[in-house]
Structure 1
Amino acid sequence: MGDSGLLSLPKGRPGWLLASALALVAALGVAAAWRRRRAPRRLARVGTVSGLFVYPVKSCRGVAVERAEVTPLGLRCGEMRDRCWLVIKEDGHKVTAREEPRLVLISLACESGHLILSAPEMKDLHIPVELSPKNPVQNCRVFGFDIQGRDCGEEAAQWITAFLNSHPYRLVHFESNMAPRNAKDLMEPFQPSDKIAYPDCSPVMVLSEASVEELNSRLEKTVQIRNFRPNIVVTGCGPHEEDTWNEIVIGSAEMKGVMACPRCILTTVDPDTGIMDRKEPLDTLKSYRLCDPSEQHLYRSHPLFGWYFRIAKMGTLRVGDTVYKIIR
């Protein structure tokens, strides 16, 4: 028989033998791939969670919690969801401590289905977490992108306006049925699946105590971890080691490192007085924490301090949990 370009079978060997051999080879390949996928991951202990913070109202004081759920939009503790309330101007544009530094003096709590706002010389404000559907939905503008928020009502607007005493402001709440913003629209290293409500660009920010301690060793007047508004504070590691954690496991949650946190003038607001210094610690950070020139398209002239993470697996974490780095 002439050369047909097909594999010739030895005489007396039926075709099913070749088919069986090919099937066996394929099965072995699948099994090997499965074993690679199922191979146990190596976990290296890199630190311990020493603090967890949820910031229900953007730019207001954080709430220290002992336990938090890691959700696709960031940390949650009970009815407090991270940065899901927002102060806005009457035209819908966001207001943060960059414009109104005294926002950092507003303390928050949650009790009996109400978010409670407290501030110096102000009577506590109680806002229902579940707002009436009669409250209008506001179209808001956050860092150049549109997002909705349900208006918290006239009493909340008057309270915020009276405390800040500068312009008429309103308070809105991001509800779970509303469309979140895309983190990738703000910072290219994120994935299209990474979503946020009112945070700057990331669902979670991690900072180590050692990084703050090193910064303070360079400052005449020390600053607090609260200046940097992290969600997860880690102890037991070296300065800026958090920059190197590509994948981490804390409790039952998993997160993937995305990029450094570029710092702005908000870090110069004293969390105890609400006064903006405009210089420190930002100037000192710029002296030793600027990015590599190859990354200036991403960070520009902002110093880097802390690390942004995306959510890989939802779960629960607690203060005292070990932080593991995944080694593949």
Structure 2
Amino acid sequence: MAAAWVPLQPWLRAARPAWLLGGVAALLALGALLGAWRWGGSGRRRRQRLQRVGTVLSLFVYPVKSCRGLAVRRARVTPLGLQSGELRDRFWLVTKEDGHMVTARQEPRLVLVSVGSENGHLTLEAPDMKKVCVPVSLPRKNPVRNCRVFGLDIQGRDCGDEVAQWITSFLNSEPYRLVHFEPTMMPRKSKDIMNVFRTTDEVAYPDCSPVLIISEASLEDLNTRMEKKVKMENFRPNILVTDTGAFEEDTWEEILIGDVELKGTVCCARCILTTVDPDTGVLDRKEPLETLKSYRLCDPSERHLYKASPLFGRYFAIDKTGTIQVGDPVYKLVK
């Protein structure tokens, strides 16, 4: 026999909204608690507490090493760094004809070259120069060149005579070439550059690590000490973080942004490239480097890593790929 339907008593009907609201509140609290304790990093079957330490303010991709960066709202984080559409971070490189890299250290006016993407092409623009376009997917007939980046061998497919002549003409230099790192090529091992990296950490043409993070507060702290303020463009980060303290990024060992997990490696030891004015392409050789040296040198125990270079920003390796975007919260793992 079917169970008889019994109407709710008046007192129970009156109480129902209170217990429903209480149940919803409990579920929300449980969800927040689970969110604060989630961390699935790289096959680690454990829960760790996450602490919010900042917010992504800006994202930058630098397709051609030493040329202007491209601000993007959203980026894929691959094992070799940030990618926006067909443009990947530091996958193009200017070289001498013998394959040795050329950066703004040698040719400061490279920072005046703007980079973009149109219809499957990399585009380059510069003052008093016509825009030049290079296919992202180069013809197989283009030769693969052996290159040298910070003393290590790496390949790159030559982008052709037109763009080579364009770069040479703009810089008024000896003949230079542009090469493209293709995904089938062998990346450089970060551990061969600095021993603190893991054997799995790799890069194409970046200095040593696929992601550089700097906080807005760190730049503000530096500028309180500067007679002439500098821009974040002097330091070329991939991820700019706000809502955090000055140089807090130095302490982040494992962080989560979106669904991406990053592992802190070393701080960024700064060189004369930071003294190139991003608006004029003029190399100063002094500031902001001298001011940084007055208060941002490493601990003596770490001099074997950084020598006499001041530190500004922190490098991160990729533990889990995914997507990040402006506005994402930044969490650090609390052990």
Name the TM-score, length of structure 1 as normaliser.
Answer: 0.88
What CA distance in whole angstroms lies between the structure 1 residues aligned with 2:61 and 2:212?
11
1:212 equivalent in structure 2: 219
> What do you get for the CA RMSD once the two structures are aligned?
0.7
- Give the CA deviation at 1:40: 2.5
1:265 aligns with 2:254: no
1:179 equivalent in structure 2: 186
1:253 equivalent in structure 2: 260
What CA distance in whole angstroms lies between the structure 2 residues aligned with 1:252 and 1:69?
10
Residues 39/72 of structure 1: CA separation in 2 closer, same or farther (3 Å cut): closer
- Give the CA deviation at 1:151: 0.2
2:323 counterpart SS class:
strand
Paired residues for 1:142-161 under 5 Å: 142-161=149-168
Of 48, 54, 57 in structure 2, the residue corresponding to residue 47 of structure 1 is 54
2:148 equivalent in structure 1: 141
1:108 equivalent in structure 2: 115
Structure 1, residues 40-84: CA drift from partner, whole Å, max 9, x if none?
Answer: 321100000000000000000000000001100011111000000
- Give the CA deviation at 1:319: 0.4
1:119 aligns with 2:126: yes
- Give the CA deviation at 1:321: 0.3
2:148 counterpart SS class:
strand
Of 104, 110, 113 in structure 2, the residue corresponding to residue 97 of structure 1 is 104
1:233 aligns with 2:240: yes
What CA distance in whole angstroms lies between the structure 1 residues aligned with 2:150 and 2:63?
18
What CA distance in whole angstroms lies between the structure 1 residues aligned with 2:263 and 2:152?
25
Unaligned runs of 5+ in 2: 1-43
1:201 aligns with 2:208: yes
1:4 equivalent in structure 2: none
What CA distance in whole angstroms lies between the structure 2 residues aligned with 1:192 and 1:239?
31
What CA distance in whole angstroms lies between the structure 2 residues aligned with 1:105 and 1:249?
33
Structure 1, residues 177-210: CA drift from partner, whole Å, max 9, x if none?
Answer: 0000001111111101001000000100000000
What CA distance in whole angstroms lies between the structure 2 residues aligned with 1:304 and 1:318?
26
- Give the CA deviation at 1:266: 0.1
Please tell me the residue identity of whatever aligns with 1:221. Answer: K
What CA distance in whole angstroms lies between the structure 1 residues aligned with 2:261 and 2:307?
29
What CA distance in whole angstroms lies between the structure 1 residues aligned with 2:95 and 2:263?
31
2:70 equivalent in structure 1: 63
What CA distance in whole angstroms lies between the structure 1 residues aligned with 2:282 and 2:83?
29
2:294 counterpart SS class:
helix
1:244 aligns with 2:256: no
Structure 1, residues 248-276: CA drift from partner, whole Å, max 9, x if none?
Answer: 00001000101100000000000000001
2:135 equivalent in structure 1: 128
Please tell me the residue identity of whatever aligns with 2:207. Answer: D
What CA distance in whole angstroms lies between the structure 1 residues aligned with 2:321 and 2:183?
16
Please tell me the residue identity of whatever aligns with 1:111. Answer: E
1:82 equivalent in structure 2: 89
1:316 equivalent in structure 2: 323
Structure 1, residues 127-174: CA drift from partner, whole Å, max 9, x if none?
Answer: 000000000001001100000000000001100000000211000000
- Percent identical among aligned pairs is 68
1:302 counterpart SS class:
coil
2:169 equivalent in structure 1: 162
Residues 325/155 of structure 1: CA separation in 2 closer, same or farther (3 Å cut): same
1:31 equivalent in structure 2: none
1:83 counterpart SS class:
coil
Of 215, 225, 228 in structure 2, the residue corresponding to residue 221 of structure 1 is 228
What CA distance in whole angstroms lies between the structure 2 residues aligned with 1:325 and 1:115?
35
The runs of at least 4 aligned residues of structure 1 exceeding 3 Å deviation read: none
- Give the CA deviation at 1:39: 4.2
2:307 equivalent in structure 1: 300
Aligned positions, number: 292
Unaligned runs of 5+ in 1: 1-36
What CA distance in whole angstroms lies between the structure 1 residues aligned with 2:46 and 2:328?
24
What CA distance in whole angstroms lies between the structure 1 residues aligned with 2:194 and 2:112?
29
